[in-house]
């Protein structure tokens, strides 16, 4: 049986695989904010990015390694690298500042990937694996190796590859269901067969990674845990490529709530109260909101654990039952995941230090300048709204963290509309050189008019593919939260903003999306799984 740390290690890949979600790209400040919160959440490993992708990705991983990876007993900071020297070298440099660091290198092992993507024979791949694992080992002690598309690979070839990777020094072997194809029983059997057929498997921890194309990722992982997997690769809110990755909060709460069921698979008595993960579950809601606010990936209301309705009881029978005894219809106490109603925590008379303290608790560590800005916006909101909730505060600040350098700045937005009027918007924008420009436009509605005017000034032709508004809290004075997604050259860019005036929120969200579009276009970025692996041959750099 593979190495067993006695509990499950949580490997968070929100900043790498999660960020591969269409339109979810994050800037450096946003990645840092999320990494700090992941450390507070207690994840064991943060996969901070794919350093070879671009200078921006490299810088983000390096900053995370410097600031989160040097923090006492904080998480291991990991970077992804394809099985190529150039990737591995870049990764080693980026994670270097961290106290505890890991290189995660991978290559595909399924015939379909070998033939159509890598255009390599099994023998060639089998030769590359130990060479690249050894190369990674020359930089760090902690090396993880992944067999991409393991779920569709020939098990006998997989066993050979894994054995070679472990012999070359891999400490963790990751088994990805890259296309979300397997069923729980199959995936569990695959892990069991690896345990039974790989000679040196005792020298490595078995990890699992999986996508949710059939909605089975979490179920697959929990089955894998029963068969000896001890590291789970997951993302906050399950964000990620296509249908996403296995959701961290669901895995953690599954293992928490059903501990007595899973304990025996760890050789424990069912009643053993020791947690099966090191996650501080009270941080889950906060982390989910932070990730949703910064990525603009809205969490579906009925999403398990972190959806707005996850703890809401609508039907009279359920409400009656819960009032008599919570256990009648609730298996998780909302407080366990940090869901509290902080309605009356802040208001008009609250001072700067109270606002700062609450923001820090919510995961936002703002610079002095950003705090000043946030406080001004807080006061402005408190004039219009009596109770300021955590959700309001998050909405106020998340967009400040979102501003990349060299950005367009919205100076003014004004609309006239009504049943007998042609919706008209006037906008004033500071362009990237700091010049103030203004224009007006007519649209089918006020938001359309605003977007047309902004597009006319920005000169970055794009297609609006999503516009959604939801209220941050209840009540007529609630802030409206707007998410906008733009498409340019097949790539999606999202923007997010909140205001008590939804037209203002829409204008700001549009500008945020434009800013991402401009900065991402400048940087360019490789995709670890889709772009050509030019360097994959055994070449020196």
Nearer to Zn ion, 20 or 462 (CB): 20
Residue-by-residue DSSP string for 159-223: HHHHHHHHHTT-SEEEEEETTS---HHHHHHHHHHHHHH-TTGGGSEEEEEEB-TTS-HHHHHHH
- With CB under 5 to 8 Å by kind, the binding choice for 62 among Zn ion, ligand KIV, none is none
Secondary structure E strands in 26-99: 45-49, 76-82
What is the phi-psi region of residue 363: left when phi exceeds 0, alpha when psi lies from -120 to 50, beta otherwise? Answer: left
Least distance between ligand KIV and beta carbon 16 (Å): 8
Question: CA nearest 346: which of 285, 300, 394, 309?
Answer: 394
Q: State in angstroms the smallest separation of the CB of 22 from ligand KIV.
A: 15
DSSP letter at 386 equals S
- Please, is 417 exposed, middle or buried when counting C-beta atoms within 10 Å of its C-beta (0-12, 13-18, 19+)? middle
How far apart CA 223 and CA 438 sit, in angstroms, is: 58
85 binds Zn ion (CB under 5 A): no
Residues 64-123 that bind ligand KIV (CB under 6 A): 106
CB of 24 to ligand KIV, least distance (A): 15
Angle at 382 between CA 376 and CA 383, to 5 degrees: 95
Nearer to ligand KIV, 237 or 529 (CB): 529
148 part of the interface to ligand KIV, by CB under 6 A: yes
- Asked whether position 144 contacts Zn ion by CB under 5 A, the answer is no
Site string for ligand KIV, 11-30 (x = CB under 6 A): ------x-------------
| Residues from 165 through 224 that contact ligand KIV (CB under 6 A) | 174, 176, 178, 209, 211
Q: Binders of ligand KIV: how many residues, by CB under 6 A?
A: 11
CB of 348 to ligand KIV, least distance (A): 48
- Residue 146, interface with ligand KIV (CB under 6 A)? yes
Name which of Zn ion, ligand KIV, none residue 106 binds, using a CB cut-off of 5 to 8 Å depending on partner kind. ligand KIV
Could you tell me the smallest distance in angstroms from the CB atom of residue 424 to ligand KIV? 47
Pick between residue 147 and residue 509 the one whose CB is nearest to ligand KIV.
147
Long-range Cβ pairs for the range 71-76 (8 Å, 24+):
71/39, 74/39, 74/99, 74/100, 75/12, 75/38, 75/39, 75/43, 75/44, 75/45, 75/46, 75/100, 76/44, 76/45, 76/46, 76/100, 76/101, 76/102, 76/142
Q: Which helix (H) or strand (E) holds 442?
A: strand 436-442
Scanning residues 14 to 33, which ones bind Zn ion (CB under 5 A)?
Answer: 17
Cβ distance to ligand KIV smaller for residue 152 or 487 = 152
CB of 287 to Zn ion, least distance (A): 20
- CA angle (226, 231, 232) in 5-degree steps: 85
Say how many residues touch Zn ion, by CB under 5 A. 1
- Residue 254's binding partner out of ligand KIV, Zn ion, none, with CB under 5 to 8 Å set by partner kind: none
Which of Zn ion, ligand KIV, none binds 37 (CB below 5-8 Å, type-dependent)? none
Helix (H, G, I), strand (E, B) or coil at 276: coil
Cβ nearer to ligand KIV, comparing 144 with 223: 144
Pairing of strands 409-416, 424-430: antiparallel
Which of residues 324 and 530 has its CB atom nearest to ligand KIV in the complex?
Answer: 530
Single out the residue of 149, 230, 156, 229 nearest to residue 182, CA to CA.
Answer: 149
| 117 vs 424: CA distance, rounded Å | 50
Least Å distance between CB 178 and Zn ion?
6
Nearest to ligand KIV of 176, 296 (CB atom): 176
Near ligand KIV in 522-541, by CB under 6 A: 528-529
Nearer to ligand KIV among residue 23 and residue 176 (C-beta): 176
Strand order through the sheet with 463-471: 463-471, 480-488, 491-499
What residues make contact with ligand KIV under the rule CB under 6 A? 17, 106, 146, 148, 174, 176, 178, 209, 211, 528-529
What does the binding site for Zn ion look like in residue numbers (CB under 5 A)? Answer: 17
């Amino acid at each position: 049986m593979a190495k067993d740390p006695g509990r499950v290690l949580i490997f968070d890949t929100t900043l790498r695989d999660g960020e591969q979600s269409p339109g979810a790209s994050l800037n450096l400040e946003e990645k840092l904010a999320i990494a700090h919160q992941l450390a507070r959440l207690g994840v064991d490993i943060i996969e901070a990015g794919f350093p070879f992708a671009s200078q921006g990705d490299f810088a983000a991983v390096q900053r995370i390694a410097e600031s989160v990876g040097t923090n006492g007993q904080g998480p291991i900071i990991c970077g992804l690298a394809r099985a190529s020297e150039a990737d591995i070298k870049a990764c080693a440099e980026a994670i270097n500042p961290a106290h505890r660091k890991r290189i995660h290198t991978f290559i595909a092992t399924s015939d379909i990937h070998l033939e159509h993507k890598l255009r390599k024979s099994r023998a060639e791949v089998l030769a590359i694996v130990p060479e690249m694992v050894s190369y990674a080992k020359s930089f760090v002690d902690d090396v993880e190796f992944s067999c991409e598309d393991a779920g569709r690979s020939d098990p006998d070839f997989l066993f050979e590859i894994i054995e070679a990777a472990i012999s070359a020094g891999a400490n963790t072997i990751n088994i990805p269901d890259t296309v979300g194809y397997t069923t729980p029983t199959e995936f569990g059997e695959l892990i069991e067969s690896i345990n039974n057929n790989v000679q040196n498997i005792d020298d490595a921890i078995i990890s699992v990674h999986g996508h949710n194309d059939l909605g089975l990722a979490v179920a697959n992982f929990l089955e894998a845990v029963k068969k000896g997997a001890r590291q789970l690769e997951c993302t906050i809110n399950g964000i990620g490529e296509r249908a996403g990755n296995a959701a961290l909060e669901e895995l953690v709460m599954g293992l928490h709530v059903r501990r007595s069921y899973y304990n025996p698979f760890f050789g424990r008595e069912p009643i053993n109260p020791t947690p099966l993960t090191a996650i501080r579950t009270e941080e889950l809601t906060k982390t989910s909101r932070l990730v949703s606010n910064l990525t603009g990936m809205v969490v579906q209301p009925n999403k398990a654990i972190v959806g707005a309705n996850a703890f809401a009881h609508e039907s009279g029978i359920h409400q009656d039952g819960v009032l008599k005894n919570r256990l009648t219809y609730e298996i998780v106490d909302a407080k366990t995941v940090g869901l509290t109603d902080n309605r009356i925590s802040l208001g008009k008379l609250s001072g700067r230090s109270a606002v700062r303290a609450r923001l820090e608790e919510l995961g936002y560590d703002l610079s002095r300048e950003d705090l000043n800005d946030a406080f001004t916006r807080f006061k402005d909101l408190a004039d219009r709204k009596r109770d300021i909730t955590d959700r309001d505060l998050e909405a106020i600040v998340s967009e400040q963290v979102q501003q990349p350098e060299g950005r367009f700045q919205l100076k003014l937005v004004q609309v006239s509309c009504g049943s007998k009027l042609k919706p008209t918007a006037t906008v004033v924008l500071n362009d990237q050189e700091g010049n103030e420009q203004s224009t007006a436009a007519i649209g089918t509605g006020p938001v359309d008019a605003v977007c047309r005017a902004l597009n006319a000034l920005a000169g970055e032709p794009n297609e609006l593919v999503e516009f959604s508004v939801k209220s941050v809290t209840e009540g007529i004075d609630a802030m409206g939260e707007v998410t906008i997604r733009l498409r340019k050259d097949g790539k999606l860019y999202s923007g997010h903003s909140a205001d008590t005036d939804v037209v203002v929120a829409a204008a700001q969200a549009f500008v945020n999306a434009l800013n991402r579009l401009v900065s991402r276009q400048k940087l360019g970025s490789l995709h670890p799984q889709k772009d050509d692996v030019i360097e994959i041959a055994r070449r020196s750099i």
